[in-house]
Structure formats: structure tokens, C-alpha cells
A and B are shown apart, each in its own frame.
Chain A
Amino acid sequence: MWRYTLRRLSFLPIILIVVSILVFVLLRVLPTSDIADVIGGQNATPEQKAAIRARYHLNDPIFPISFTGSAPFVEVQKNSQYSRWLVDALRGDFGKTYTSQKSVRSEFFRRFPASFEVVALSLLFSVILGISFGIISAMYRNSPIDYFVRIFAVFGTSIPEFFLLSLLIIIPSYLWNYSQPVGGYVSIFSDPWTNLRLFLPATIILGIGGSAGLMRLVRTTMLEVLRSDYVRTAKAKGLRQRTVILTHALRNAGTPILTAIGSAFILVFGGSVVAERVLSIDGNGLFLFQSTFSRDLPVIQFLAIYTATVVVLVNLVVDLSYAFADPRVTYR
């Protein structure tokens, strides 16, 4: 299993290189408007724009290798934007933001705890919600609670999270004058109550969004498993219902559920952008959103690399966890 993990991890650098090249193509080769215009603003003089271009090396070729029409068809440039970025990135330096001139890396780490808490709490909530209601729904098939769960799952995938979040902020405020704290991350260790109040709406709404698919999947897998012979045997020999459901049925429904938890993670991770924007939580989702607005290329490049890493690692963890759910799965 360790060898398998290492082999999978060895793909990570290759994936990251590919992602970084794609992002470079997207952000620097294709854009319809000049980045110098965006950074300098509308009133920038041509001299100022030239200075900006020189400062961020925007006049350099983008990639170290370019193709030409005549032999030898390939031209190698010494100083390109990509090679400069790559060399710095390998040293752990992801440049400075265009807008605030701060280190992208330290800005990222400053915002990381808030984002981490949004994603972690929401994922936890969606897993609890999804698995428990999925099981209940399968156990009491075609009962009112089953119908409720099924309707809930459809609504959860159709109603946009930003609408539910807005409702969750305005309704308590309209009815009971409750004001939702916005912005200002407070560590859970120094002030747990304010911290939880800040993250509660995001946790509820992202959790619901992430749990809908999971709920549906747990229900269908459990329905299948509950019909199987070994569950009937377990019931017949007089095991308690809790034991039958949790250790016999759920364990055997394991692998598809783990895959669905992986998808729930990706959903929650993506949804954190909207949640952080609505609640003004100063995390990396908001960072990405603001950088999109101001075309802050170093930030977007870095966050793309970060996202790719997270996606690859989550998929790896999901694959490895199959072995825990099902001992027959071995990795070599």
C-alpha cells in the first residue's frame, strides 16, 4: 500500500506542471485585454503602463519554447515568464500580489485557517446528515420520512447555495433582529462562541448542499445491501438492529459511499467561495474571488496549483480508504 501511495504521489508533480502550463495559457496567452490596463487602471498613461509591463516582465515571451515557421522550428528563449515563475515556485516563492504587493504565500497561509474551518465543518455536517438520513430513508422505505429525504435531496441540488445563505442571514434578522457577525476571523481557541456563530450559516448551507447527493447514494446502496442474504442472516441470529445496520450493512455499502464523500468534499470546497463572499469570511475562496475581479495573476496561478493538489490528494485518500472499508481491496 505504501508503494502504491508513493507511486500515486509521484504523479502529483506532473499534474501540477500540466495545470500550471494550462493556467499560463489561459491567463497569459488568451486574454482579450491587456493586463497592464487592468493593473494600471483606466487613467494610466502609456509610460506608466510600460513601467508596469517592465516590472512584471510582461514583455518577456510567455513560454521558454516557441515554435517558428522555419527550421529548426523550435526556438528556445532564456528568460520567459513561465520559467521565471517555475524557478521561483520550486523555491517556494509564488510572487507578490499585484494589488497589495504582499507575498502570495503568506497571504494564503493567513487566510487558510478560516477556509479550512468552513470546509471542514461543512464536510463534517454533510457526512453526518447524508449518511444518517440516507440510512433512515432506506430503513423506512416509502414512509413519510423517506419521501422527505428524497424531496430534500432534489431540492438540495437545485436551490442555489447563495439563495439559501441569503435567506439564512435575512430571516433571523427580519424576525428576531439577530445579526449575523460578518468578516473578522476569530480563532476557535480564543473565542469559540463568536467563531461558531461566524461559521454556522456556511456550515448549514454548504453541508446541506454537499449532503444531497450523498443522501441519495447512501439510500440506494443501503436498499440493495439490506436485501442481501447476510443481512437477513444477521437479523435472524438475533443481533441488535444497530449492529446489523452499522457493522454489517453500512460497512458493505462502504466503497460507493466513500466515493460520494469525495464528491461532497469537492462540492463543499467549491461552495466555500460563495459562502465566504456572502458572509465576508476572509478565506481563500474570497481571496480567489477578489483576485478574479482584479485579475491578480500570481494569486490565481497559485490557487490553481493549490486546488489541483487538494483535488489529487482527496482522490488519493478516497482510493486508499477503500482498503479500510473493504479488506478485499488491495493496492500494489
Chain B
Amino acid sequence: MATLADGSVTVGAEESWELPKNRSRLSQLGRLARDNPVGAIALLVVIGFVILGLIGPTLSPYPPKELDAGSRYLGPSSSHLFGTTRFGQDLFSRVLAGARIDLKFGAIVLVLGFVPGTALGIVSGYFGRWVDYLIQRSGEAWAAFPQLFLLLTFVAAFGPGLQTVEIVAAIGALFGGSRIMRVVALVEKQKEYVVGARSTGASEFRLLWRHVLPNIMPYILVGLSSVFAAAVLVEATLSFLGLGVSPGDPSWGADLSIGVGAGSTYPWLVIFPGAAISLVVLAFNLLGDTLRDILDPRLRGSTGPRR
């Protein structure tokens, strides 16, 4: 019996025992979800977040930035699901719009930071030597400092604004991604299929691209999940501090910080934006945790959020 690279199993003709029924992809997925209910719920929340981020604004009952002096500080009701802010804006519409801001932000961070970080980590783990040394040491130096101090120093250099936050979060994702993928590549390069492919004369590039990359795809998803969670957290924190989105833009962090002032009288102004951040970050973290547990307990502790 041999396990092929894509996970399917071939059995020699002389082996006569009953084969397990070939389950459909869907029922396999169902079984996985039953074994990991927390991960399944997290996945649903993540999917919901992505869908709301894409189509949210078409669902929102009011324009998120529309001011209405006549309806300030209204409590949650059927016409204003999450109540209204001190400027009379509909909080539900703003929270929906916030999902789009974070989805876009996360996507930018993934493209600018996580993708090159993954490539860097794989190259670093696969080829080793001084490249590995350099990347690892600078990653450690970055991780040694309190994250917020680093963020603030960068904001001081480039000035407040969402673009600065994107750059800084991307640097964090670069190091985060490379750290996770390096470990994976280190393990992967020892495996038989790599040696096998090399012995057939495949070039190193082809080996990495056609053989190693598809095999470590699930680990990339783990990294992606935790990096996305960290990105949302960074955006929320800096917008909360007033260093992220421009004033008035419907970011969850910014809305929360505006709400705190009147929060003891109108607590929903704090609760809804805060719950949105927590739910999304929690879902991405739990999804990453679940995937990691399914894949490989050895990686435990090498991923996870950092602040």
C-alpha cells in the first residue's frame, strides 16, 4: 500500500481485504465538520464575513456615512438594527461597511506581505544557508519587539493613514508567513517524493513549483488564516487609536473609539463594533487552529496571533 502525493491510496492486487467505500468529497467534508464542530462554525463565520464584505453595502438599509441630526443615539430597533451613532448614522450599515474595509485591508496585506513571506519562507527553509540565517534573524528581531511600538514608529515615519497601516501590517505578515512556511519547507524537503522527483531529473524550480507547493497548500491556508486574523486586529487597533482610517470612515476600530465616550449611556455603540472585530478575529484564529490540528500537531505553537 502506498500513499500518493495527492493523498489517495493504491492497493496492490494481492491485497484482498475490503476497500473502504470511496466517499464523495462532500461526505468527507461533512465528516470532517462533525469531528471539528468549532472549526466548522469558524469556517461558516469566515465565509459569512467574506460574503458580507463583498455584497454588504447592497444590503445596508442606510448609506453608512449619512448624517441625520434627527435620529441621534437611537437604541437598537427594527428600523435601526444596531441603533444609531451620535451623528445619527445607522450603526448596522456602518458595521456592514466595516466588513468591506477589513476584507480589502486583509486582502492587501495578504498580497503585499503574506505571499512574498510564504515564498521567502519556503526558499529559506528549502535552500537554507545564509539566506535562511538572514531571514530568520531579522524575523526574530522583529518578533522580539512589542508589536505596537513597531507599528507606532512606522506611523511616525510615514504619517497616520490606512496606507501606512497596510505597509506595517504587510511587514508583520511577511515575517509571520516566512516563519511558518520555513518550518514546513524544512520538513517537506526531506520527504521521499522530493527525492524521487529530483532523481528523475526535475529542476529545483520545477520541484518547488509543481511538487512541493501543491503539497504544502494546506499549511499555506493555516498561515493565511492566522495572518488574516492578525491583520484585522492591527487595522482595528490603529483605527481605534485614530491612526488608521480617515475620520468618518466606517472602520470597526474607529467606530468603537467614537462610541466609548458615550458608551456608558449607549453601550451598543461599543458592543456591536467590538463584537464584529472579536467574532472575525476569533473565527480566523479558530479556523487556523483547527486546520493545523488536523494537519500536523508538530506545528502547534508556531502559528497563532501576535500583538
Query: Could you tell me which A residues sit within 8 Å of B by CB distance?
Result: 23, 26-27, 30-33, 154-155, 157-163, 166-167, 169-171, 173-174, 209, 213, 217, 220, 266-267, 269-271, 273-274, 277-278, 288-289, 291-293, 295, 297, 300, 303-304, 307-308, 311, 315
4 extra interface residue pairs, beta carbon distance < 8 Å, beyond A157-B305, A163-B277, A273-B148: A157-B285, A162-B237, A266-B145, A270-B149
Collect the chain A residues with CB atoms within 8 Å of residue B267's CB: 170-171, 174
Answer yes or no: B156 CB below 8 A from chain A CBs: yes
Asked if B157 CB lies within 8 Å of chain A CBs, one says yes
A289 to B256, CA, bound (A): 18
As a 0/1 sequence over residues 145 to 175 of chain B, the CB contacts with chain A under 8 angstroms (1 = contact) are 1111100111111111000000000000000
Give which listed residue, A171, A293, A307, contacts B149 with CB less than 8 A: A307
Contacts of B233 in A (CB 8 A): 160
Give the distance to chain A from B119, nearest Cβ to Cβ, in Å.
Answer: 24
B90 — which chain A residues lie within 8 A by C-beta?
none
Q: Which residues of chain A come closer than 8 Å to B241, judged between CB atoms? A: 274, 277, 289
Complex formed: what's the CA distance from A182 to B307 in Å?
Answer: 25
Tell me the smallest distance from the CB of A280 to a CB of chain B, in Å. 12
- In the complex, are the beta carbons of B146 and A170 less than 8 A apart? no
- Residues of chain A within 8 A (CB-CB) of B158 are 30-32
Query: Knowing A160-B281, A266-B144, A311-B145 touch, does A27 contact B157 (C-beta < 8 A)?
Result: yes
Q: Bound complex: CA of A109 vs CA of B263, how far in Å?
A: 33
Decide if A270 touches B148 in the complex (CB within 8 Å). yes
Given contacts A160-B278, A174-B265, A154 and B285 within 8 Å (CB-CB): yes
Is there a chain A Cβ closer than 8 Å to B193's Cβ? no
| CB <8 Å contact, B260 and A170 | yes
Inter-chain contact B229/A158, CB cutoff 8 Å: yes
List B residues 243-295 near A (Cβ within 8 Å): 243, 253, 256-257, 259-260, 263-265, 267, 270-271, 274, 277-278, 281-282, 285-286, 289
Bound Cα distance A220, B301 (Å):
11
Residue from B256, B281, B300 in contact with A159 in the complex, judged by beta carbons closer than 8 Å? B281
Do A270 and B156 touch (CB < 8 A)? no
Do B263 and A270 touch (CB < 8 A)? Answer: no
Say whether A315 contacts B229, CB under 8 Å: no
Q: Within the assembled complex, what's the spacing in Å between the Cα atoms of A27 and B237?
A: 22
Chain A residues, Cβ within 8 Å of B265: 174
Query: Please, could you name 27 A-B residue pairs with CB atoms under 8 Å apart, sorted by A?
Result: A26-B154, A154-B289, A157-B304, A158-B278, A158-B285, A159-B277, A160-B237, A160-B253, A162-B237, A163-B256, A163-B270, A163-B274, A163-B277, A167-B271, A169-B264, A173-B264, A174-B263, A267-B307, A270-B148, A277-B241, A289-B241, A292-B160, A295-B156, A295-B159, A303-B149, A304-B153, A315-B144
B-side contacts of A209, CB under 8 Å:
307
Q: Is B236 an interface residue (CB 8 A)?
A: yes
| Contact residues in B for A213 (Cβ distance below 8 Å) | 304
What total count of A-B pairs have CB within 8 Å? Answer: 138
A216 to B282, CA, bound (A): 16
Enumerate the 9 nearest inter-chain pairs by beta-carbon distance, A residue then B residue, closest first: A270-B146, A173-B264, A163-B274, A170-B263, A158-B282, A270-B148, A159-B278, A292-B152, A292-B156
Asked if residues B277 and A293 are in contact (CB atoms below 8 Å), the reply is no
Question: How many whole Å from B171's CB to the nearest CB in chain A?
Answer: 11
Known contacts A273-B149, A300-B153: A160-B236 contact under CB 8 Å:
yes
CB within 8 Å for A166 and B149 given contacts A154-B282, A160-B277, A311-B144: no
If A170-B270, A288-B149 touch, whether A300 touches B156 (CB-CB below 8 Å) is: yes
Interface residues of B in 42-71 (CB under 8 A from A): none
Partner of B145, one of A162, A169, A273, A307: A307
Residues of A within 8 A of B237 (CB): 160, 162, 274
Partner of B274, one of A166, A300, A308: A166
Residue on B with the closest CB to A306?
Answer: B149
Report which of A33, A163, A288, A311 forms a contact with B159, defined as CB distance below 8 A: A33
Query: Which chain B residues border A27 with CB–CB below 8 Å?
Result: 153, 156-157
Most buried by A among B146, B260, B265, B305: B146
Task: Give the chain A neighbours of B259 by CB distance below 8 A.
Answer: 166
CA distance A110 to B168 in the complex (A): 30
* Chain A residue at smallest Cβ distance from B277: A160
In chain B, what residue has the closest Cβ to A300? B156
B155 contacts A292, C-beta separation under 8 Å? yes
Q: Contacts of A157 on B, CB cut-off 8 Å?
A: 285, 304-305
Residue in B149, B152, B278 with the greatest tally of chain A CB atoms within 10 Å = B149
